[in-house]
Amino acid sequence: MRDVLSMALAMAIVGASLGAIAVSKGVPLWMITLMGAVVFAGGSEFMAVGLVTAGAAPITAVLSGLMLNARHLPFGLAVGGLLDRGWPSRLIGSHLMVDEAVAFAMAQRTPEQKRRAYWLTGIALYCAWAPSVFLGGLLGQGVGDPGAFGLDAAMPAALLALIMPSLREFRTLRAVAVGALIAVLTTPLLPEGLPVMVALVGVAAVLPLPKKLEGTR
């Protein structure tokens, strides 16, 4: 419970930064609030705001969000057995399927513990996310520039904190380094939001090296 609540607090800060950034870029408060409740996917929401406000077509934001959230397909296979067979449970459970809920569930030992952790984490994060996006939007109307308070750095900081334990593995560290380098190099060249998509090329760095190269490394 302590870990879930601390995660919910962190996500509330990230949600507030999303609301403030979106409103400061001209997105209506009602629209970003509705997106927080209906989409409930922080990375996709940040990317959609960046793309649309930079002039990209809405279909581009939709397709980019689908690509970014393709990881939910294996997530669903991993946690599908934790949901009840009725369609209401599966529908709501699918909406609450975010990285943190899956991670907390998979860290438990018994199916009952996994199920409890999944629902507790998903509900707690949703209850923290949607209202915080609205409150952040209200803040953005008065602040003007979210960067003045560092709100624009909340999402990257939260994601960095999530992946830090995984960086102990060399293959993961290699993929993150390649992706980060690609994002930095393409940021001056591509519209806002697209460098993150291009950085997915870094995933290829996780693939095993040829035996000859692996032996010389």
Quick one: tokens of 155? 């999402």
> In this structure, is the dihedral angle defined by the CA atoms of residues 31, 37, 42 and 43, taken in order, positive or negative?
negative
Query: Coil, strand or helix: which one is 84?
Result: coil
The b-or-e profile of 186-211 (16+ CB within 10 A means b, else e) is beeeeebbbbbbbbeebeebeeeeee
Q: Tokens representing 191?
A: 């519209």
What lies within 8 Å, CB to CB, of 207 at 6+ separation is none
**Sequence-distant (≥ 6) Cβ neighbours of residue 117 within 8 angstroms:** 4, 101, 104, 105, 107, 108
- Taking only the tens place, the pLDDT of each residue in 58-102 is 888 888 788 878 878 888 888 888 887 788 888 888 888 888 888
pLDDT score at 154: 61
What would the mean pLDDT of 120-141 be, rounded to a whole number? 90
Q: How far apart are CA 165 and CA 172, in angstroms?
A: 10
Say what percent of the chain tops pLDDT 90.
13
At residue 107, the pLDDT reads 86
- Please give the mean pLDDT across all residues of the chain: 81
